[in-house]
């Protein structure tokens, strides 16, 4: 099963394959004629992403969030060349590629831009970056900015504390990288593959559900698993990943009609 991508062309990589070669940009959408949808993901961490388990986005890096712009000229109207200034946590080489930078406060606030590339830095210094689109509003000296990864860049197994957003389920295990990326070097042996976000898909069960058609959320008992939404009787307080098409049996893999991302 090779998802259909841009222009109706089939991907050279099937949903059952992982690869150390990138065939698409991270976040590329693929689909099947039966309505199922996948997004292309990259794992360059030293933890594998296991087949059939629920995957969530990488956690926000505190020192890369709401950081003061170092100089008003770091974001100049009309330019695609900008400068990131963050706190005392390194920016890993290209970790925010195809992610976003937001101007969160003061001059330029509410603007955001997609990141085409950037270099790394050791933390508390500057990192040069390039955007896909030119800056629309120049920043001021009191402006603040935040960095957020593409949801499909370095996602992770869901955790039982339920603090990240689900991004999909894979039909193949993404192997761990041989070595993680640093501020000055790319990861070695990172893997690429498809995460399913829409339509029927088997997922690891965290509990028994005797009926079908129930709203399903991230499991709170087993990492990587899903359970019935029981957070509220009227309004869910957790991300609904879909609705179960088959009864759940604890520790088995049962089918969910995914509604994560169309």
Residue 123 CA to chain centroid, in angstroms? 23
Whether the predicted pLDDT of 25 surpasses 70 = yes
Rounded mean pLDDT, 40-66? 94
User: Would you list the domain boundaries of the chain?
Assistant: 1-58+150-262, 62-148
Residue 119's pLDDT is 92
Residue 124's pLDDT is 85
Rounded mean pLDDT, 117-122? 92
- 3-state DSSP assignment of residue 196: strand
Residue 233's pLDDT is 63
Residue 154's pLDDT is 94
Q: What is the pTM of this model?
A: 0.93
Residue 7's pLDDT is 85
Residue 234's pLDDT is 62
Residue-wise pLDDT tens digits, 208-224: 999 999 999 999 999 99
Residue-wise pLDDT tens digits, 129-169: 999 999 999 999 899 999 999 999 999 999 998 889 999 99
For residue 203, what pLDDT band results from cuts at 50, 70 and 90? very high
Residue 31's pLDDT is 97
Residue 181's pLDDT is 83
What residue ranges in the chain does DSSP mark as E strands?
29-31, 37-43, 54-56, 67-68, 81-85, 100-105, 112-118, 126-131, 144-148, 156-157, 166-169, 191-204, 215-218, 226-228, 242-244, 253-259
Residue-wise pLDDT tens digits, 57-83: 999 999 999 999 988 889 999 999 999
Provide the sign of the torsion angle of the four alpha carbons 212, 218, 221, 222, taken in this order: positive
Residue 236's pLDDT is 66
Beta bridge partners of residue 103, listed in sequence order: 145
Contact 152/261 with Cβ under 8 angstroms? no
Residue 183's pLDDT is 84
For residue 235, what pLDDT band results from cuts at 50, 70 and 90? low
Rounded mean pLDDT, 163-187? 90
Whether the predicted pLDDT of 175 surpasses 90 = yes
Residue 21's pLDDT is 93
């Amino acid at each position: 099963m090779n998802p259909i991508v841009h222009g109706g062309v089939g991907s050279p990589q099937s949903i059952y394959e992982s690869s150390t070669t990138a065939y698409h940009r991270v976040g590329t959408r693929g689909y099947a004629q039966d309505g199922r949808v996948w997004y292309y993901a990259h794992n360059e961490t030293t933890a594998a992403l296991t087949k059939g388990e629920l995957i969530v986005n990488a956690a926000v890096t505190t020192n890369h969030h709401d950081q003061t712009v170092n100089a008003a000229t770091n974001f100049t109207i009309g330019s695609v060349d900008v400068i990131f200034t963050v706190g005392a946590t390194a920016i890993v080489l290209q970790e925010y590629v195809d992610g976003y930078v937001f101007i969160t406060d003061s001059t330029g606030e509410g603007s955001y831009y997609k990141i085409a590339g950037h270099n790394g830095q050791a933390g508390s210094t500057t990192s040069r970056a390039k955007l896909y689109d030119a800056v629309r509003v120049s920043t001021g000296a009191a402006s603040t900015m935040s960095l957020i990864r593409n949801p499909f860049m370095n996602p992770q197994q869901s955790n039982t504390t339920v603090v990240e957003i689900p991004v999909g389920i894979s039909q193949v295990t993404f192997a761990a990288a041989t070595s993680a990326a640093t501020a000055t070097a790319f990861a070695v042996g990172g893997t690429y593959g498809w995460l399913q976000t829409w339509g029927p898909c088997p997922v690891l069960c965290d509990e028994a559900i005797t009926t079908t058609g129930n709203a399903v959320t991230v499991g709170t008992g087993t990492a990587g698993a899903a359970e019935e939404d029981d957070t509220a009787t009227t309004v869910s307080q957790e991300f609904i990943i879909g609705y179960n098409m088959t009864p759940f049996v604890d520790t088995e893999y049962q089918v969910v009609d995914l509604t994560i991302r169309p």
